[in-house]
Structure 1
Amino acid sequence: MTARPYQLLITSTARRQLAERLPESIAFAAHEFISGPLLENPHRVGKELMPPLQGRHSARRGTYRVLYRINDADMTVTVLAVGPRSDIYRTD
């Protein structure tokens, strides 16, 4: 665990997915994960992605994924997207 937790930033896309597109139970579980374990140790709870998604991390929550970027210098975690595994890694 880090000495102090990371600060959370959420993109408008991820905010919309959490508020409007995900089932309520999934959105609640994702929010609990994002505001807890993800901010405490973002490197441990997810994995770094390969090209073309390099520089991003992904954490699994059942069949859903939380896509995020870590900035260690600023101690921030930016949640980029939350969605089903079948859609979250699309780059087109």
Structure 2
Amino acid sequence: MSAYALQTAPAAERSLQRLPESAAAAIVEFMTGALLAEPHRLGKPLHAPYLGWRAARRGAYRVVYRVNEQVGVVLVTKIDHRADIYRPR
């Protein structure tokens, strides 16, 4: 059993639906398994303007998330290709 619960923002869910099926499946498996087990070890802390957020790699894609220790939640807010992840939309 993992120490954290997973929450996914609507934008991240939409991003998952647009990904190729194999990439989306790998990211979902990562988010529901390894990420929830060790969110601080797997992701790197981001710098301004994303202070407090972390990013983890999954192939050519990045998963941006925040860990809320008080309630035990990992909130995934953004999933995108590494070339596009930090570009404003």
| Bucket of the pairwise TM-score, normalised by the shorter protein | over 0.9
TM-score when normalising by structure 2: 0.93
Matched residues in 2 for 1:71 and 1:91: separation?
A: 24
Identity of aligned residues (%): 47
CA deviation after TM superposition for structure 1 residue 25, in Å: 0.5
Question: CA RMSD, aligned part only?
Answer: 1.4
Structure 1 stretches of 4+ moved >3 Å: none
Q: Which residue of the partner structure matches residue 36 of structure 2?
A: 39
In structure 1, give the amino acid aligned to 2:5.
Answer: Q
Which of 19, 24, 27 is the aligned partner of 1:27? 24
Instruction: Please tell me whether residue 53 in structure 1 is matched to residue 44 in structure 2.
Output: no
Question: Larger helix proportion, structure 1 or 2?
Answer: 1
CA deviations on 1:19-55 (whole Å, 9 max, x unpaired) are: 2x11110000000000000001100011110001111
Structure 2 unmatched runs, 5+: none
CA deviation after TM superposition for structure 1 residue 91, in Å: 3.8
Q: Which residue of the partner structure matches residue 62 of structure 2?
A: 65
Change in Cα spacing, 1:4 to 1:25, as seen in structure 2 (3 Å) is closer
In structure 2, give the amino acid aligned to 1:23.
Answer: P
